[in-house]
Amino acid sequence: MFALTAGSEDSRPNPKGNRLIIAIDGPSGAGKSTLAKRVAKELGFIYLDTGAMYRALAVKVLRQGIDLADDGRLGGLVDDTEIDLCERDGELAVLLDGEDVGAQIRTPEVSQMASKVSALKKVRARMLQLQRQMGQRGSVVAEGRDIGTVIFPQAEVKIYLDASPEERARRRYQELKAAGRQVDLQETLREIEERDKRDSERDIAPLCQAADALLVDSSSADAEQVALLVLDRIKNRTKINQ
C-alpha cells in the first residue's frame, strides 16, 4: 500500500489560521522546484514535490523490470509500495518503501520512466488520493503537472511556469553536468521534448494551464525575479502577511 505518513503531525496553517494551497504547474525544467522550495521556505508552508512521487515509483518499476503493459504486475506494485515524503535537515527526503531514493530519482532514465508511469490510470488515481491527503496537513506549495487543474482545483493561487524548450534543456543539461553526468545538450533537448509531448498529450490529467492560473515565463528571468513576482501574487491574493 502507498503511504505518505510523514508530516501528518506537521500542520502549518498560515498566520491567519486557515490552510492555503499554492499550485505550481508547468513542464520539466521550467524552474518549478526552485520556485516552489523558495516560496515554501519564505511562507513556512509544506513543500510538496509530486514529481518526486512518480519518480520514486519509477525507480521501483525499473528495479523490478516491470512491463508497463502488464496491468496485473503493475497493479500489484502500486498496491505494495510505500512512498513517503518528509523533511530532513531542511531537505525533502523521498522514501520508497522506507529507503531514501532521493539521490537516484533524477537520472534521465528515471525521468522517462516517471513520465511513462504517470500516464497510467491506476497510478494517477492513487497519487491523487495521496496528494489530497497531504493537502490536509497544512498550508502547502505543491508543484507538478495537474495540481491546479485536478489535484487542487480550489487552490488559492495557481502559477503556470513555462520557458522555451531550448532554455529548459540548457538548464537541465547544466544540472546534470554539475552532478558529474556525461550529457549531450541535443540529447537533453530531445528528451525534454519527448517528455513534454507525453505529459501533455496523455488522456488523464495532462499538463495544461488552468484557466485561472497566472502564466509566468521564466525564459529570460532569473529565479529570484520569478520568486518575487510569485510571492507578490500570493500576498495580493491571500492577504497573507498583510
Q: In the complex, which residues of this chain contact ligand DC (CB under 6 A)?
A: 28, 50-51, 54-55, 114-115, 118, 144-147, 195, 199
What phi and psi, each to the nearest 5 degrees, are found at residue 215? Answer: -85, 125
Question: Would you say 110 or 231 has its CB closer to ligand DC?
Answer: 110
Q: Name the nearest CA neighbour of 33 among 142, 170, 171.
A: 142
The CB-of-159 to ligand DC minimum distance in angstroms stands at 14
Rounded Cα distance between 222 and 113, Å, is 30
156 to 133, 175, 218, 219, 240: CA distances (angstroms): 17, 31, 22, 25, 11
Would residue 30 be called left, alpha or beta, if left means φ above 0 and alpha means ψ between -120 and 50 degrees? alpha
The CB-of-121 to ligand DC minimum distance in angstroms stands at 12
Q: Name the nearest CA neighbour of 50 among 145, 157, 161.
A: 145
Question: Would you say 4 or 114 has its CB closer to ligand DC?
Answer: 114
Pseudo-torsion of CA 102, 108, 112, 113, nearest 10°? Answer: -50
CA 93 centroid distance within chain:
14
Q: In what order do the strands lie in the sheet with 91-96?
A: 83-88, 91-96, 99-100
User: At 153, is the secondary structure helix, strand, or coil?
Assistant: coil
The CB-of-27 to ligand DC minimum distance in angstroms stands at 8
The CB-of-115 to ligand DC minimum distance in angstroms stands at 3
Question: Would you say 193 or 235 has its CB closer to ligand DC?
Answer: 193
Question: Would you say 94 or 230 has its CB closer to ligand DC?
Answer: 94
Other Cβ atoms closer than 10 A to 102 = 18
Question: Would you say 60 or 195 has its CB closer to ligand DC?
Answer: 195
The CB-of-127 to ligand DC minimum distance in angstroms stands at 7
Question: Would you say 146 or 162 has its CB closer to ligand DC?
Answer: 146
The CB-of-86 to ligand DC minimum distance in angstroms stands at 17
Question: Would you say 50 or 240 has its CB closer to ligand DC?
Answer: 50
The CB-of-16 to ligand DC minimum distance in angstroms stands at 27
Rounded Cα distance between 188 and 102, Å, is 21
